[in-house]
Chain A
């Protein structure tokens, strides 16, 4: 039930509320838990609330890490 998905903040529509976009679908969210969010931030949305701002740098580190792991496999087992 704690499912939460990243959506991009596209507009601050009022005090503590904003509009997020995921694949063209826009929806209103509360920013009460993420008051420092700015436009273009990816927010983690749960039950109509942004529970955290996604750390883009960490997201890249994660992708690089898995790419490195995949490459390490290629070295071990040739195609």
Chain B
């Protein structure tokens, strides 16, 4: 599409929203649940086109940001005290734990390997055997099946020295908690998580909480289009769940991917940074794959790892505050030297505000 066409389409959508809101007295606050949307909203300039009656807040959809500090401490303990090799997605490498980050660990001589795909862990494990290697298992429904396939493949190939430190998260339970927040009008629903779980799985938002949700693609135009739908449904008082990303997302989701998840994992309670312990919002290994669980193989008793009390990541992850309402933002906490995970991850809300100058 030509840039001019895109600009004209964006102008039309923005005007449409203005017209719909012309006689509307209240304000609307929509949450983009997914971190990739957060970046797209800021980089595309969508916010500058939005009617002042609409505000956008970021949700807990950046896996790095919702991972507790204790997880980093556990990884560091495994490497420093037990001599395991850590394998991680690059996103996690600079997140500060109680004693520095994985990058610091590497500079102190610790073995930390960054992979693009969890499947790469298998070759690393075979190469280093019998030394134990631990893959740091963070991610949502998009990423979880890739770990499930890795575990199944390692099981079939009898790889005995590969383990997974699990901190996987699933989106429905926290979304239910956020949906009960009266301040939030509706939700811009994630694209690639929805490709796995399907649009139909969100029906509770409209049915039980009377809030609209729209699954959106990642272009600025896709996001504006989805916002027009959210505004329309809010003004008409007819909340529903719409799919504006049909190029990729099906109503029923990806059943092959969900079957892979179900073969290896079962729902479990897990803690989210910012939201605390949420029942059934994580995953635990099922037999016979529980032999891959690093927490079972290497039991650890580590002290609590409280966040810096001045860091407002927890409130930013729930859309209660925006980054510029945090005293550390842009001063002590910058991308080169982050205090909290929302500044570390390239998809974090604070990183997006810092890079694009959000308000």
Chain A residues packing against B (C-beta within 8 Å): 1-4, 30, 32-35, 44, 46-49, 51-52, 54-55, 58-59, 61-63, 65-67, 69-74, 76-77
Name the residue of chain A whose CB is nearest to the CB of B89.
A1
Q: What number of B residues sit within 8 Å (CB to CB) of A?
A: 53
- Chain A CB count within 10 A is highest, among B6, B11, B247, B248, for B247
Known: A2-B36, A52-B249. 19 other contacts (CB 8 A): A1-B35, A1-B36, A1-B345, A2-B34, A4-B142, A4-B195, A30-B146, A44-B192, A44-B195, A51-B142, A52-B250, A52-B254, A54-B248, A55-B247, A62-B246, A69-B8, A69-B12, A70-B8, A76-B15
A46 touches which of B119, B146, B225 (Cβ 8 Å): B146
Is B68 in contact with chain A by the CB < 8 A criterion? no
CB distance from B22 to the nearest CB of A (A): 16
Residues of B within 8 A of A69 (CB): 8-9, 12-13
Query: For the complex, what is the distance from the CA of A59 to the CA of B89, rounded to whole Å?
Result: 30
Interface string of B6-30 (1 = CB under 8 A from A): 1011011101000000000000000
Asked whether, in the complex, the Cβ of A70 is within 8 Å of the Cβ of B5, the reply is yes
Residues of A within 8 A of B120 (CB): 48
A44 touches which of B146, B246, B248 (Cβ 8 Å): B248
Name the residue of chain B whose CB is nearest to the CB of A46.
B142
Asked whether, in the complex, the Cβ of A35 is within 8 Å of the Cβ of B9, the reply is no
Asked whether, in the complex, the Cβ of A66 is within 8 Å of the Cβ of B1, the reply is yes
Asked whether, in the complex, the Cβ of A73 is within 8 Å of the Cβ of B8, the reply is yes
Asked whether, in the complex, the Cβ of B8 is within 8 Å of the Cβ of A33, the reply is no
A-facing residues in B176-221 (Cβ within 8 Å): 190-193, 195-196, 217, 221
CB distance from A55 to the nearest CB of B (A): 5
Residues of B within 8 A of A44 (CB): 192, 195, 248
CB distance from A56 to the nearest CB of B (A): 8
Asked whether, in the complex, the Cβ of A32 is within 8 Å of the Cβ of B246, the reply is no
Asked whether, in the complex, the Cβ of A67 is within 8 Å of the Cβ of B192, the reply is no
Asked whether, in the complex, the Cβ of A1 is within 8 Å of the Cβ of B149, the reply is no
Shortest beta-carbon contacts, A-B, top 8: A48-B117, A70-B8, A2-B142, A69-B9, A73-B8, A2-B192, A73-B12, A58-B246
Name the residue of chain B whose CB is nearest to the CB of A63.
B1
Answer whether A35 and B62 are a contact pair too, CB < 8 Å, given A44-B192, A52-B248, A59-B247: no
Asked whether, in the complex, the Cβ of A33 is within 8 Å of the Cβ of B254, the reply is yes
CB distance from A62 to the nearest CB of B (A): 6
A-facing residues in B141-200 (Cβ within 8 Å): 142-143, 145-146, 149, 190-193, 195-196
Asked whether, in the complex, the Cβ of B143 is within 8 Å of the Cβ of A54, the reply is no
Asked whether, in the complex, the Cβ of A1 is within 8 Å of the Cβ of B91, the reply is yes
Query: For the complex, what is the distance from the CA of A55 to the CA of B260, rounded to whole Å?
Result: 22
- Chain B CB count within 10 A is highest, among A30, A48, A66, for A66
Asked whether, in the complex, the Cβ of A67 is within 8 Å of the Cβ of B1, the reply is yes
Residues of B within 8 A of A2 (CB): 34-36, 61, 63, 139-140, 142-143, 190-193
Would you give 14 A-B contacts (Cβ < 8 Å), ordered by A? A2-B35, A3-B36, A33-B260, A46-B142, A47-B117, A47-B146, A49-B145, A51-B142, A51-B145, A51-B254, A54-B248, A62-B246, A62-B247, A69-B12
